[in-house]
Homo-oligomer: A and B are copies of this chain.
Amino acid sequence: MNDSVQTAVVGVTGYAGAELARLLLHHPRLQNKPPIFAGRVDATDAARGGIPLAEIHPELADSKGSGGLRQLPFSWELLTDLGAEVLFLATPHEQSREWVPEALKRGMRVIDLSGAWRLVEAENRAVYAFEDDGTELAASTQAQAVYGMPELHRKQIAGAKLIANPGCYATSVILPLRPLVAAGLVDLEYGIVVDAKSGVSGAGKAPTAKTHYMYAADNLSAYGAFTHRHTGELLEQIGLSTEQIFFTPHLLPIPRGILSTIYVRFREPQTRASIAQVYHRFFAHSPMVRIYDKALPQIQYSVRSNYSDIGFQLASDGRRAVIVSCLDNLLKGASGQAVQNLNVMLGWGESEGLE
């Protein structure tokens, strides 16, 4: 077990990057080893030694300025010279496809927040249309990847060189469904309906027609029914076939947070207690999952935390249930889970730096 580690972050400028920076800067194990931030830096900024973090994210400034932290011009030499041991990539998936093999070659362990290495089945990866799919390098890299959901794959994560950090929607659906499906309770013939809603930060920082305030505010819109990229993760991690799940994401007029409403039918009638027991057992050693025994969780309860909140209501016949799952898409759905994976990788307390 390491006492500390030298981390590096590529992609600090986005929303997930900002959260990742905040978490790493305050992580108790990293107080003497601030992360290296690297990325695109133009000549002017390079001349002044990089871009102060406080200019990129003013809310991260301490009162005496940026404390000297800067985004440096990315280069592999820089990362090697500065001794990067664990590399976080909060980059587009195309970039992660390209960079992960190089980082592994250089002996770094990688936690990749993109969708580049999450999917084992070629047909599920098709939606990404990776240019290198089918190459030997891609195949050998994929073979090393572990799906970074500690609640399901804690042991593999501990030894992994490459963590494929899960998608935000996928996390909000896999955690509540996996225990019930694995226990054989769900009648899959009826199919499962997942109606998911996410705040706007999930759509990324690039200004587009859909992230314009006037589009998102006072509105709700469904998108990507039957076609969302995260569907493949659901199939592989829960163990479902395409026609067994409806998954429709919606864009909520809030900055952050996901609520997924999940509709299932059971093979046999269940009670509140029987379902609760399945959950409590499955997550007995998972500090970042909260099971709601009475009320349903709401987005507000988990926003700005790394918790995944799960609650449910049963129909009076015990055959049907509505499950409500909430989390913060930038934390448990991205950067918080990435830090949780870091903790598990290094043998630290799973929730260190996350409370």
Contact of A221 among B226, B298, B307 (CB under 8 A): B298
* In the bound complex, CA of A302 to CA of B61 (Å): 10
Across the interface, name the chain B residue whose C-beta is closest to A309.
Answer: B58
Tell yes or no: A197 within 8 A of B by CB. Answer: yes
- A296 vs B15: C-alpha distance in the bound complex, in angstroms? 21
The smallest C-beta distance from A244 to any residue of chain B, in angstroms, reads 11
Does chain B have a CB within 8 A of A355? yes
Q: Which residues from chain B contact A195 at a C-beta distance below 8 Å?
A: 193, 195, 261, 263
CB pair B214–A212 under 8 Å, yes or no, is no
Q: Tell me the chain A residues, 267-324 only, with Cβ under 8 Å from chain B.
A: 283, 286-290, 295-305, 307, 313, 315-317, 319-320, 322, 324
| B255 close to A58 (CB less than 8 A) | no
Contact with B along A245-281 (1 / 0, CB 8 A): 0101010111101010101010000000000000000
A207 proximal to B (CB < 8 A): yes
Q: Are B305 and A59 in contact (CB under 8 A)?
A: yes
Provide the bound-state CA to CA distance between A106 and B302, in Å.
40
| Beta-carbon contact of A302 and B59 below 8 Å | yes
Residue ID in chain B nearest A243 by CB atoms = B317
- Indicate if the CB atoms of B220 and A254 lie closer than 8 Å: yes
Tell me if B315 and A226 are in contact (CB < 8 A).
yes
C-alpha gap A248/B260 in the complex (Å): 12
Q: Which of A209, A212, A288 has the most CB of B within 10 A?
A: A212
Known A-B contacts A208-B207, A305-B59; the reply to A220 vs B259 at CB < 8 A is yes
Of the residues B205, B214, B304, contact of A211 by C-beta under 8 Å? B214
Quick one: which of B63, B191, B201, B254 contacts A286, CB cutoff 8 A? Answer: B63
Complexed CA–CA distance, A298 and B355 (Å): 27
Chain B positions within 8 Å of A61 at CB level: 290, 301
- Chain B positions within 8 Å of A76 at CB level: none
Q: How far is the CA of A52 from the CA of B201 in the complex (A)?
A: 32
Q: Which residue of B lies closest to A316 (CB)?
A: B226
A214–B307 CB distance below 8 A: no
Q: Contacts A62-B355, A305-B59: A298 and B255 contacting too (C-beta < 8 A)?
A: no
27 contacts between A and B (CB under 8 A): A58-B297, A59-B305, A61-B301, A62-B287, A62-B290, A63-B307, A193-B195, A197-B197, A197-B220, A200-B214, A205-B212, A207-B207, A207-B208, A211-B212, A213-B216, A218-B257, A218-B299, A218-B300, A219-B254, A220-B259, A222-B261, A222-B324, A226-B316, A243-B317, A243-B319, A246-B320, A246-B322
Chain A interface residues toward B at CB < 8 A: 15, 26, 58-59, 61-64, 190-191, 193, 195, 197, 200-201, 205, 207-209, 211-223, 225-226, 243, 246, 248, 250, 252-255, 257, 259, 261, 263, 265, 283, 286-290, 295-305, 307, 313, 315-317, 319-320, 322, 324, 355
